[in-house]
Structure 1
Amino acid sequence: MQIEIWSDVVCPWCAIGRARFNKALAAFEHRDEVQVRWRSFELDPQAPREPDGVDLVDHLATKYGIPREQALAMNQRVTESAAAEGLEFRLDRAQRGATFDAHRVLHLAADRGVQDAVKDRFFRAYFTEGARISDPDVLAELAAEAGLDAAEVREVLAGDRYAAQVRADQAQARAYGITGVPFFVLDRRYGISGAQPVELLASALQQAWAEHRPVLQPTPAAGDACADGSCAV
């Protein structure tokens, strides 16, 4: 069964949703038969590749048209939600930046079988360490820590490899009507929007599995059939 997750590496609720999904998946009896694939979604396609000196809190206040104090309170609430899932957020360190290249690296990571590890490393780098996620050198270093070859990452980022795949993910998101992330798509049957509670995610996994691998129920009345060699000729 395949689970596709549209998300961005600078989306706090994506990191929280990832932690909750991990808990649901860990308790799922068929977890070894579940394939997770991360899909690309840019929350801010206009974000700068180079530092622009704009404070993240001020950016949020401007984006949502709210006072700075309210933006700070929003960050505090999300930090507390993250802590409840065992995540350390230091949003005072976070640096706004473009994520298109990070998504390209994640496609490379999928091809090399280490996408989960690279995704988690990017989350921690952005939300806890204050890494500049738009910097190609930073991406190469982080990806190497998570199992990719740094030279290959730099080669990818020096060209346009995986750009088409990122855009294809974004086009699929539009086709699905996805406007916010995280967004979970289970076996192309069910869509779950947002960082939902562990219990809801666990229930969705069970339901999707039941339809993916239906259990046959015998009917009370049996017709003609061969069994135990009764039709041997």
Structure 2
Amino acid sequence: MHRPRRVEVVIDFVCVHCYLGFTRCLRAVRRHREDGGTVETVLCPLQLRPQASAAGEPLVEVWARERGAAVAARLAADTSFGVDDGLELDFRRAVFTNTFDAHRLAAQASAQGKGEEMAERLFRAYFVDGLNIADTDVLARLAAETGVVTSSGGAEALQAELARVRALNLPAPPVLLLAGGPVLSGEIREEDVLAALVE
């Protein structure tokens, strides 16, 4: 008999390592549930670039400005990232943007029991579909796709939650905080998450 578990998942939707870590965590959570376990996943927002413009700009251009054109070209051409996890990422299409409203939508989805689905959709929108996940029309469409009812509220609560997560002084995301268990971060492996859930 498994005891109920709670996992806080600290992520930002423009972080490729967060996408990988979240994907592996979710696979472990689903395996645990299939085996009769109960897991509550709690999305914890973190903005890696809170100053980023909501207008968005191509990720490759951000890389070129910050890392140089050669590095940007090499990263954009790498199609191997995420393949082992069944993900097909397209860095050339990604629109780097502010994630505040994406996190607000994820919080509203979580309140309706659809946080996992919404997080998956936001990651896919950013890394696969090349959508600006700060755009209100894009977010409205993603909400409709996942059956989430949205409202204009929640900004103050999100600001408070962002501040709470920052104050934890956690390692670089993704970070998984398992109640009564270990803190997993960095190169998160599915088997490690599953092992932590069954402890």
In structure 2, C-alpha distance between the alignment counterparts of 1:31 and 1:178, rounded to whole Å: 31
Partner residue, 2:48: 43
Task: Determine the structure 2 residue equivalent to 1:167.
Answer: 159
Q: 2:12 aligns with which of 8, 20, 30?
A: 8
SS in 2 for 1:81: coil
| 5+ residue gaps, structure 2 | none
Deviates more, 1:12-21 or 1:174-183: 174-183
Would you say how many aligned residue pairs link Structure 1 and Structure 2? 194
Is 1:109–1:118's contact at 8 Å kept on the other side of the alignment? Answer: yes
Q: Tell me what 1:71 maps to.
A: 72
> In structure 1, what is the equivalent of residue 81 of structure 2?
81
Do the aligned partners of 1:20 and 1:195 also contact (CA within 8 Å) in 2? Answer: no
In structure 2, relative to structure 1, the CA distance for the partners of 1:89 and 1:116 (3 Å cut) is same
Aligned partner of 2:198: which letter?
Answer: Q
CA contact (8 A) 1:4 1:36 kept: yes
Render the CA deviation track for 1:55-112: whole Å, top value 9, x for unaligned.
422312433xx332223334555x4231110111111111111110111111111111
Q: Is 1:90 the equivalent of 2:90?
A: yes
Q: What's 2:30 paired with?
A: 26
Q: Is the 8 A contact 2:106 2:115 kept in 1?
A: yes
Query: 2:171, 2:185 within 8 Å by CA — same for their partners in 1?
Result: no
Cα separation, 2, equivalents of 1:169 and 1:190:
22
1:109-128 alignment to 2 at 5 Å? 109-128=109-128
Against the structure 1 CA distance between its residues 3 and 58, is the aligned structure 2 distance closer, same or farther, given a 3 Å change threshold? same
Does structure 1 retain, via aligned residues, the 8 Å contact 2:64–2:71?
yes
Letter in 2 for 1:58: E
The AA in structure 2 aligned to 1:126 is Y
Contact 2:32/2:197, CA 8 A, preserved across alignment: yes
Counterpart Cα distance in 2 of 1:125 and 1:94: 9
User: 1:191 is matched with which residue: 183, 189, 195?
Assistant: 183
TM-score (norm 1): 0.75
* CA distance in 2 between partners of 1:177 and 1:104 (Å): 22
Task: Supply the RMSD in Å over aligned alpha carbons.
Answer: 2.0
Which residue is 1:215 aligned to? Answer: none
Residue 38 of structure 1, CA deviation? 0.7
Q: CA deviation at 1:189?
A: 4.3
User: Aligned letter for 2:51?
Assistant: Q
Q: Identity over aligned residues, as a percent?
A: 31
2: CA distance between counterparts of 1:148 and 1:203? 32
1:197, CA displacement in angstroms? 1.8
- Distance in 1, matches of 2:162 and 2:77, equals 30
